[in-house]
A = this chain, B = another copy of it.
Amino acid sequence: MDDPRTGPSPTLRDVATEAGVSAATASRALNGSTRNVSAEKVALVLQAATKLGYAPNLSAQAIARGSTETVALIVHDIADPYFSSIAAGAIDGAEAAGLTVTMAVTGRSPERELEIVSTLRGHRPHAIILAGSRVGDDQTALADELRTYEAAGGRVAVVSQPGLPYGTVTVDNRRGAEDLAAALLAQGYRRFAVLRGPGRHRTSHDRAEGFRAGLARAKIDLAPGMVVETDFTEDGGHAAMTDLLGRGLAGVELVFAVNDVMAVGAVRALRDAGLVPGTDLAVAGFDDISAATDVAPALTTVGVPTHAMGRRAIDLALTGTDKGEVVWLPTNVILRDSTPPRDTGPARR
């Protein structure tokens, strides 16, 4: 009937009383400064703490110390594998630094994002990590909010969203697409089409242009009608591919979709049209989501180190010195069965 593990959370004072010492000593025993407290009392305090099931009130610590042990992570959609992988990396990094992660999702709404930054700021986190690529609209309100956070000593890092004046971890989409183009040329492909996303989307733009640039090096260019703008989704890829097929391929051998989900949609469209993906028409994507290896044929794509991006963002925020530092993480071309080597006989010069 005197179970210590009952009632409201035990406080430091409870522990101190239980151990027969002052709160100050208890605090010292539990924290770093074990130095100035006798081994005997340390043992007593520790024992009392476990007996009572004591867990320090982090809010109280935060306010007394003037700093917290948390980092805030903001993503657009945690169910999206791209973001969940970034989140996993960020959480790893945070835990390695002994920090707890608080998280919020924007649902891709800029207003919501702003609101969230404001709320999160109230937690006084060590750092705020913003993950997600903006659609390119006005961000002054967000920038303001972040500025006052930073002015108060907060650290900010951004993942894949160059444009904000903070440490940024990103991937060279342009270069990745260029590399992909080169690899595909080496496989023997010469005639291409591109499925890209809505005009304003920066990532889409960079990838499409990078691909074009890669081809240009081999003096190959994209026929005007062969760049189709569509939704950044699987259905978008399906629709665009269907459209392309309807208009006639005109000799196109390979379709590059600016992301894997669109590519998967394109593959489905091919199959729906009675064609064999890979054989009748090659397909390549970008991102290397896990579905890329699940589809048949497995999808040639460009790997993006999402986990590493999350982790680096934490590092950048925590240790970063250079405000506007941009870390470019390398992508890697992954050739799979959706773009088999093409026999270009000696006839082709």
Residues on A facing B (Cβ under 8 Å): 5-9, 53, 55-63, 68, 70, 77-79, 81, 84-85, 87-88, 91, 95, 100-105, 118-124, 144-145, 147-148, 151-153, 264, 267, 271, 290-291, 294-296, 307
If A8-B153, A70-B102, A119-B100 touch, whether A88 touches B79 (CB-CB below 8 Å) is yes
Q: How far is the CB of A75 from chain B (nearest CB, A)?
A: 10
Complex copy number for this chain? 2
- B100 & A101 in contact (Cβ 8 Å cutoff): no
In the assembled complex, which residues on chain B have CB atoms less than 8 Å from the CB atom of A5? Answer: 144, 147-148, 151
- A122 & B55 in contact (Cβ 8 Å cutoff): yes
Cβ-defined partner of A63 (8 Å) among B60, B78, B151:
B60
If A104-B100, A151-B7 touch, whether A78 touches B87 (CB-CB below 8 Å) is yes
- B296 & A55 in contact (Cβ 8 Å cutoff): no
In the assembled complex, which residues on chain B have CB atoms less than 8 Å from the CB atom of A6? Answer: 151
- B81 & A81 in contact (Cβ 8 Å cutoff): yes
In the assembled complex, which residues on chain B have CB atoms less than 8 Å from the CB atom of A57? Answer: 63, 122, 124
In the bound complex, CA of A214 to CA of B182 (Å): 54
- A85 & B79 in contact (Cβ 8 Å cutoff): yes
Name which residue of chain B comes closest to A58, CB basis: B122
Query: What are 18 inter-chain pairs, A to B, with CB distance below 8 A?
Result: A5-B144, A5-B151, A7-B152, A9-B153, A53-B144, A55-B119, A55-B121, A55-B122, A57-B63, A57-B122, A58-B122, A59-B60, A63-B63, A78-B91, A79-B88, A81-B81, A100-B102, A103-B103
In the bound complex, CA of A295 to CA of B7 (Å): 53
Q: Beyond the given A77-B88, A79-B84, A81-B84, please list 18 additional residue pairs across the A-B interface where CB-CB is below 8 A.
A: A5-B144, A9-B124, A9-B153, A53-B145, A55-B119, A56-B122, A58-B59, A58-B123, A59-B123, A59-B124, A63-B63, A79-B81, A79-B85, A79-B88, A91-B105, A100-B102, A102-B102, A291-B291
In the assembled complex, which residues on chain B have CB atoms less than 8 Å from the CB atom of A151? Answer: 5-7
Q: How far is the CB of A151 from chain B (nearest CB, A)?
A: 5
In the assembled complex, which residues on chain B have CB atoms less than 8 Å from the CB atom of A122? Answer: 55-58, 61
In the assembled complex, which residues on chain B have CB atoms less than 8 Å from the CB atom of A62? Answer: 59
In the assembled complex, which residues on chain B have CB atoms less than 8 Å from the CB atom of A68? Answer: 59
If A88-B77, A121-B55, A294-B295 touch, whether A103 touches B102 (CB-CB below 8 Å) is yes
In the assembled complex, which residues on chain B have CB atoms less than 8 Å from the CB atom of A296? Answer: 267, 271, 295-296
If A5-B151, A79-B307 touch, whether A294 touches B264 (CB-CB below 8 Å) is yes
Q: How far is the CB of A217 from chain B (nearest CB, A)?
A: 33
- B91 & A84 in contact (Cβ 8 Å cutoff): no
In the assembled complex, which residues on chain B have CB atoms less than 8 Å from the CB atom of A100? Answer: 102, 104, 119-120, 123
In the assembled complex, which residues on chain B have CB atoms less than 8 Å from the CB atom of A70? Answer: 102
- A58 & B148 in contact (Cβ 8 Å cutoff): no
If A59-B124, A101-B102, A123-B58 touch, whether A152 touches B8 (CB-CB below 8 Å) is yes
In the bound complex, CA of A309 to CA of B121 (Å): 29
- B120 & A9 in contact (Cβ 8 Å cutoff): no
In the assembled complex, which residues on chain B have CB atoms less than 8 Å from the CB atom of A88? Answer: 77-79, 105
Closest 8 CB pairs of A and B: A53-B148, A84-B84, A59-B62, A79-B88, A59-B59, A9-B152, A58-B122, A55-B121
